[in-house]
Chains A and B, each alone.
Chain A
Amino acid sequence: MTGRTTLKCAYAGIAAIALTLAVGWWQVDGPGASEQTERQPFALTEMEFSLSDHEGDEVGPETLIGRPTMVFFGFTYCPDVCPTTLSDISGWLDDLGEDAEGMNVVFITVDPERDTVEAIAEYVGYFHPSIRGWTGTQEEIARAAQGFRARYERVPTDGGDYTMNHTASVFLFDIEGRFTTMIDYHEPREFAVPKIRRTLD
């Protein structure tokens, strides 16, 4: 290859990268941004995992079919995002009142090491009585997260402890277990109740 062709190739490469970036922007942040299909959870009927609820009963995605469902991931050693989400959800459930009575509301831990059945039972007891806590083995938590396309990661902290980074969105499913929409953590909270209402209809 001569020097000139190498240069041409380089230009073509740069142009291609620029185009890719532009297309990427258009899809991710720009007007082409869809409902971010790539991170949508599967339907509950397509998921497979087996966990325990905070009363020690075996539960899985099939437990949720037949009622509208709200699911979110977190951990009870989380000082900020998780209690905020739990109290927001408690508030939404209070706002919805009877309309949300038949709804499944599930908090799945991403930290089963510390969130035993007893620990999660005590914790959810402080929030709305509809909220169920689910925990289980690391493997089954990982399978559940895959189904919801939720992410989590263990991060060591200064004091020799650890914290968990995790997907903070709340996932909504209809009565047949189809994913309807999600409530992102940074989304204005006043949009939440109408979104839940649409799922309940």
Chain B
Amino acid sequence: MKTIFYGLMAALMFTSSAATPTFAGSESVVVEDAWSRASVGVNRPGAAYMTIRNTGDETVTLTGLRTDLAMMPDIHQTSTNAEGVSSMAPAGEIEIAPGEAVSLEPGGLHAMLMHLQRPMTEGENFSVILDFSDGGEIAVEVPILGIAARGPEG
């Protein structure tokens, strides 16, 4: 059963290299170093990370994201206060100035993947669509690394 499921998944996957920047919609936004951690089952939320670079000469605004992996994806901001207490909250819209990049990375911003529709399995990929305020969208292939991964290299 499991094998059939994974086989299907693999067949449905795009074959895209993690290192290749993904272009779509507005040609001036480049996404690099996307990665995520494997999940334990589907009850726990997942998180994905990436660097979103604006190579154009106009400010772009990231308004949200979509993925068939999770029913409720959202960009979250983790913050740690002076007492050392960490919390996370929706980050809202994110502006990226020309020539600037926004990093979604552990302890800062993350793509929060709530209500997983299937487990996140190490070695697989999933696609995310980033939505921008100008109506442009960027498709990103996110590799799923091990649960103890610390960055795009594992």
Contacts and interface: CB of A to CB of B under 8 A. Distances in A.
A26 interface: no
Nearest to B150: A87
A159 B83 contact: no
Interface of B: prevailing SS? strand
Interface residues of A, number: 37
A194 B113 CA distance: 35
Interface string A152-164: 1101011101010
Given A158-B72, A161-B114, A81 B84 contact: no
B106 A80 contact: yes
Interface in A117-169: 122-123, 126-127, 151-153, 155, 157-159, 161, 163, 165-169
B83 A151 contact: yes
Contact of A81 (B78, B83, B114, B115): B78
Contacts of B112: 79-80
Contacts of B85: 151-153, 165-168
A41 B11 CA distance: 52
A48 interface: no
Nearest to A158: B72
Q: Is the interface of A mostly helix, strand, loop or mixed?
A: mixed
Given A80-B106, A157-B114, A87 B148 contact: yes
26 contacts: A29-B82, A77-B43, A79-B44, A79-B110, A80-B106, A80-B107, A80-B110, A80-B112, A81-B106, A83-B147, A83-B148, A84-B107, A90-B148, A126-B147, A127-B147, A151-B83, A155-B87, A158-B72, A159-B114, A159-B115, A161-B114, A167-B85, A184-B84, A185-B80, A185-B86, A185-B107
Interface of A: 28-29, 39, 76-77, 79-81, 83-84, 86-88, 90-91, 122-123, 126-127, 151-153, 155, 157-159, 161, 163, 165-169, 182, 184-186
